Structure 1
């Protein structure tokens, strides 16, 4: 999908404290061989902060940077994966009440790690259809005990706590959205399913996602799973580049999910022939995989560290279990001066 005069006006991030992976290994919480393969130096870990409150913090930063008035926000979308602080509750409405207020639709998205980019596409579509001024997209997750063991529940990924936000705008912004693309393949849905239960989590905690994946791959075959997964990613990247009328070598920076270094190499760098230095892995290895927020967080990092120039093209890409894939191609219009968060 090619977009006309659609922009990201600002981003914001909320990342609490850090847990050193070296300390986690020394204390027996993380396998030393996995630390070496994954390459994480630290991971973002929240203490008293709820996921929803982290989203509020990130949203306030993004709104302040954009200079957006509350009445200009025509839509609020909140993407998340796990518990937001209270059961039987609507975190999107809470985030709205704590930030913009007003009567704009406030909607929660459940698209797993693909939620941030899915929110971007939905916000762009809403603004185009309604000819509205701006939308706020937030993400937040807190992958804590007893449900998760951030170092061991899954393989090739360390789960980080944090939130991100982006103000999406018609007509102006620092990053022009040239194109987006979406794809999905529900034949991969079973990979993370596990048994059905009557409660939100079963008796066996923390979650053992490794066993779910291993049993699925043993039955379907690793080669087949890899082919389906790579096909979805290649589809969205090719489609977004075609619609933007660009080639891959015209992209200056790439923002991929904060997966471990080995998985990043297999799924992204080798697939596209990209050098790690053109990605945001130097940031990702310090915070871990923050659910749906890796892409907005990575873009925020590029701006805050002065790594973008006017005219640079940036690709945001990623996937979510289920499976779904998204890709967005941006062109930098100006380079904001933001203090690092």
Structure 2
């Protein structure tokens, strides 16, 4: 969808205060030296705070930089992939209350690791179609502590860091703003079993009582559905979604204004395979490597990438950035933004 007057302001990232280095992980036998080298992560941030506490810090940073009181928010959208600190509970409402966003409608977005960009898209669509909709704050937060999660070795081609993000979505720009030109999304629901495998349904959450190991469900899925090879499917989805986002933004794939792109913070060998190659087949924007010191931030990669690209001056006024996001299900989203 194309957006004519929607802005993303003051993107912020808050990482866990600890750091578990690659060398420590190898020494602790959490990942082999060979895989650690292939993955390319130098270290993963670790947090003692709950994910929503990190999200609150990021949100306060965004609101302060944007100069917008929380009381002026019309919506607060919070996205996550993993346990937020309580069961049978709404972390979005917790954040709205903690921030003093009494007029905001809190909404939880559960699109797994595609949640951050999905929330931005939802907030932008509301602003585009509803004249009464107020500015929206989008937050994400995820932490992956042991023993409930094996952050280094529990999955294939990705390691997980603790962190939160926040960005303001509004019809007018605030400090640190970019103009949102478009967001496109595609999905391949046949891949949902990658994160389910052949395990039976359970009557209650098992997080905390057993270690979640996505690599196990992915291995089971490959045995159950060998005809669904994730690599080629992902390549086609990336080419499709990036092409749609560029077309909606009315930007040619080789437009000279395309200065940089942020992709999911996956392992280096995965990025160099289906994701980078597919992206470059659809768009000329140079891919910037951003996740070496953070790992994958769950639902937060896209907003964290925007914050880092702006902080490093990857593009100047009038130039364009492309954000690509992906999440279990599987769903891919791409956004095109113009730097102001």
Q: TM-score under structure 2 normalisation?
A: 0.92
Q: CA RMSD in A?
A: 2.0
Give the Cα separation in 1 of the matches to 2:270 and 2:230. 14
Distance 1:148 1:222, change over 3 A: farther
Q: Which residue of 2 aligns with 1:219?
A: 224
Give the Cα separation in 1 of the matches to 2:193 and 2:247. 31
Once the 2 structures are TM-superposed, how far is the Cα of residue 233 of structure 1 from its aligned partner?
A: 1.9
Give the Cα separation in 2 of the matches to 1:222 and 1:185. 14
Q: Which residue of 2 aligns with 1:122?
A: 122
Once the 2 structures are TM-superposed, how far is the Cα of residue 97 of structure 1 from its aligned partner?
A: 1.1
| Residue of structure 1 aligned with 2:186, choices 178, 183, 205 | 183
Give the Cα separation in 2 of the matches to 1:145 and 1:308. 38
Q: 1:287 is paired with a residue of what secondary structure?
A: coil
| Residues 269 and 276, structure 1, Cα contact 8 Å, conserved in 2 | no
| Residue of structure 2 aligned with 1:254, choices 257, 261, 264 | 261
**Number of equivalenced pairs:** 331
| Residues 280 and 298, structure 1, Cα contact 8 Å, conserved in 2 | no
Q: Which residue of 1 aligns with 2:286?
A: 278
Distance 1:229 1:89, change over 3 A: same
Q: Which residue of 1 aligns with 2:39?
A: 38
Give the Cα separation in 2 of the matches to 1:141 and 1:239. 29
| Residues 10 and 168, structure 1, Cα contact 8 Å, conserved in 2 | no
Measured against aligned partners, the alpha-carbon deviations of 1:231-283 in whole angstroms (never above 9, x if no partner) come to 222221110111112123332111111000000111222123389993342x3
Q: 1:315 is paired with a residue of what secondary structure?
A: strand
Unaligned runs of 5+ in 2: none
Distance 1:324 1:58, change over 3 A: same
Q: Which residue of 2 aligns with 1:338?
A: none
Give the Cα separation in 1 of the matches to 2:296 and 2:44. 8
Q: 2:254 is paired with a residue of what secondary structure?
A: helix
Distance 1:246 1:288, change over 3 A: same
Q: TM-score under structure 1 normalisation?
A: 0.92
2:239 is aligned with 1:234: yes
2:20 is aligned with 1:12: no
Once the 2 structures are TM-superposed, how far is the Cα of residue 208 of structure 1 from its aligned partner?
A: 2.1
Give the Cα separation in 2 of the matches to 1:41 and 1:223. 32
Q: 2:74 is paired with a residue of what secondary structure?
A: strand
| Residues 233 and 319, structure 1, Cα contact 8 Å, conserved in 2 | no
Give the Cα separation in 2 of the matches to 1:293 and 1:284. 11
Distance 1:204 1:86, change over 3 A: closer
| Residues 73 and 100, structure 1, Cα contact 8 Å, conserved in 2 | no
Q: Which residue of 1 aligns with 2:162?
A: 161
| Residues 238 and 278, structure 2, Cα contact 8 Å, conserved in 1 | no
Give the Cα separation in 2 of the matches to 1:202 and 1:108. 19
Q: 2:293 is paired with a residue of what secondary structure?
A: helix
| Residues 143 and 161, structure 1, Cα contact 8 Å, conserved in 2 | yes
| Residues 15 and 163, structure 2, Cα contact 8 Å, conserved in 1 | yes
Once the 2 structures are TM-superposed, how far is the Cα of residue 225 of structure 1 from its aligned partner?
A: 2.8
Once the 2 structures are TM-superposed, how far is the Cα of residue 217 of structure 1 from its aligned partner?
A: 1.5
| Residues 233 and 318, structure 1, Cα contact 8 Å, conserved in 2 | no
Give the Cα separation in 2 of the matches to 1:231 and 1:193. 23
Give the Cα separation in 2 of the matches to 1:314 and 1:216. 35
Give the Cα separation in 2 of the matches to 1:303 and 1:23. 31
1:84-233 equivalences under 5 Å are: 84-131=84-131, 132-173=133-174, 174-194=177-197, 195=199, 196-201=201-206, 205-221=210-226, 224-233=229-238
| Residues 9 and 66, structure 2, Cα contact 8 Å, conserved in 1 | yes
| Residues 158 and 289, structure 1, Cα contact 8 Å, conserved in 2 | yes
Give the Cα separation in 2 of the matches to 1:203 and 1:294. 24
Once the 2 structures are TM-superposed, how far is the Cα of residue 77 of structure 1 from its aligned partner?
A: 0.3
| Residue of structure 1 aligned with 2:273, choices 256, 259, 266 | 266
